[in-house]
Amino acid sequence: EMFGQLTSGLESAWNKLKGEEVLTKENIAEPMRDIRRALLEADVSLPVVRRFVQTVSDQAVGTGLIRGVRPDQQLVKIVNDELVKLMGGEVSELVFAKSGPTVILLAGLQGVGKTTVGAKLALYLKKQGKNCMLIAGDVYRPAAIDQLVILGEQVGVPVYAAGTEIKPADIARQGLEEAKKKNVDVVIMDTAGRLQIDKGMMDELKEVKRVLNPTEVLLVVDAMTGQEAAALVTTFNVEIGITGAILTKLDGDSRGGAALSVKEVSGKPIKLVGRGERMEDLEPFYPDRMAGRVLGMGDVLSFVEKAQEVVSIDQYEFPFFSLQNLLFDMTARIEQMRQEDAEELQKKIMSAKFDFNDFLKQTRAVARMGSMSRVIGMIPGMGKVTPAQIREAEKSLKVMESMIEAMAPEEREKPELLAESATRRKRIAQESGKTEQQVSQLVAQLFQMRVRMKNLMGVMEGGSLPALNN
């Protein structure tokens, strides 16, 4: 498991804060030692670890607890945010030339996966509709040229090769001319890797760079080499000037040091990561997702973010006024909805169209999560919820579900129909074997949820609760 050791090292930090009520200089001392040890074991460089631990400590002690959030949860959030920053914050996109072909020069030591990356990158860009060409520039290893030609065929991208009896800078010149003739969008040049950095290699790269005037100079580094990767990026940047790094072999049991250190140490972002031997295994480097993987605590994070949001919305009452509503709120986050679903739901809420179908979907999402007690355990102030209360809540979700199932499609879509007609409510009560009062409550609850969700979205006008007509 990638980052497995780091993740479990950090876990012991959170665990030491369980039962605490605030974050103080004293009670974070031990957890911070765990964090420090975990990062060092992950092969993050010492100065980076020092700065990181200092920043996190300052924040933990200096900022008050978010209302309703436990100290350990808040520390998870602080560490997460700092990890994201450490890795550069935002995803760092590839830059394309405004006119003429975009030229990407790949550099790196031997065996790091540079040739493979060339072909992977060509496929990656081809999928974005770019017309690509590869240039085989590793003239010291005939096998490398053959390898690139084979990989190029595999991904359906032409490879410019001119054998080994030619200077890399000349191949670069010829290849670029060829690319211009063919109106290629992106040219990717593979270069020779040595086992170690040496002057010959650097001089050659400088010359190739001068010839190509590349848009991107990317250093390919192996994640397995930990902080050494960060040092290499620094050296190459100082020597030849690079625009970023590509981190390979993140699928191996990399301890994380490289991913965490490169940006901080070298000032250059990791732009892409390789996560396997297949040609498809190359993707952008997302600092937030990477931090998420390191921590493995997505649900805590979304909870704290939620609490932060809640605090910033004045009219929002906290704690929540009913267990069910609270669970629905939580689910919307935890369920990691597909983007489209989340957007659709948001639109519905904004236009007050949130109906019983959506209600049902959320109810079922809660059920799918299985253990409601796990969710409740994460909710501050809910620690005293008894198993009996949880069973009660689960039962009431079932009751709601059976009432919604008894509704006609148009009633599900237009809850107003039910608010307006006692006859309809009576029919649903009969069909679902519940009381009319229960049906009325359910209808009222839906409108309450509309109002609350609208408020949550920051819409001030909100809606008003319709009175139930008889």
Positions touching ligand GDP (CB under 6 A) are: 108, 110-116, 144, 193, 248-249, 251-252, 274-277, 281
Judged by beta carbon, residue 81 or residue 138, the one nearer ligand GDP is: 138
Distances (CA, A) of 283 to 29, 65, 269, 368: 37, 36, 14, 31
Q: How far is the CB of 231 from ligand GDP (least distance, A)?
A: 18
Residue 348 neighbours by CB distance under 10 Å: 16
Judged by beta carbon, residue 220 or residue 301, the one nearer ligand GDP is: 220
Dihedral angle sign, alpha carbons of residues 198, 203, 208, 209: positive
Give CA–CA dist 367/384, Å, rounded. Answer: 21
Judged by beta carbon, residue 101 or residue 108, the one nearer ligand GDP is: 108
Q: How far is the CB of 331 from ligand GDP (least distance, A)?
A: 36
Q: How far is the CB of 120 from ligand GDP (least distance, A)?
A: 8
Judged by beta carbon, residue 116 or residue 455, the one nearer ligand GDP is: 116
Written in H, E and C, the secondary structure of 168-208 is HHHHHHHHHHHHHHCCCCEEEEEECCCCCCCHHHHHHHHHH
Judged by beta carbon, residue 215 or residue 248, the one nearer ligand GDP is: 248
Give CA–CA dist 312/292, Å, rounded. Answer: 24
Judged by beta carbon, residue 9 or residue 108, the one nearer ligand GDP is: 108
Q: How far is the CB of 293 from ligand GDP (least distance, A)?
A: 16
Ramachandran area for residue 88 (φ above 0: left; ψ -120 to 50: alpha; else beta): left
Q: What is the DSSP letter of 224?
A: G
Q: How far is the CB of 162 from ligand GDP (least distance, A)?
A: 18
Judged by beta carbon, residue 2 or residue 397, the one nearer ligand GDP is: 2
Q: How far is the CB of 75 from ligand GDP (least distance, A)?
A: 32
Respond yes or no on whether the N-terminal peptide bond of residue 168 is cis (omega within 30° of 0). Answer: no
Q: How far is the CB of 93 from ligand GDP (least distance, A)?
A: 20
What residues have CB less than 8 Å from 58, skipping those under 6 apart? none
Is 248:110 a contact under the CB 8 Å cutoff?
A: no
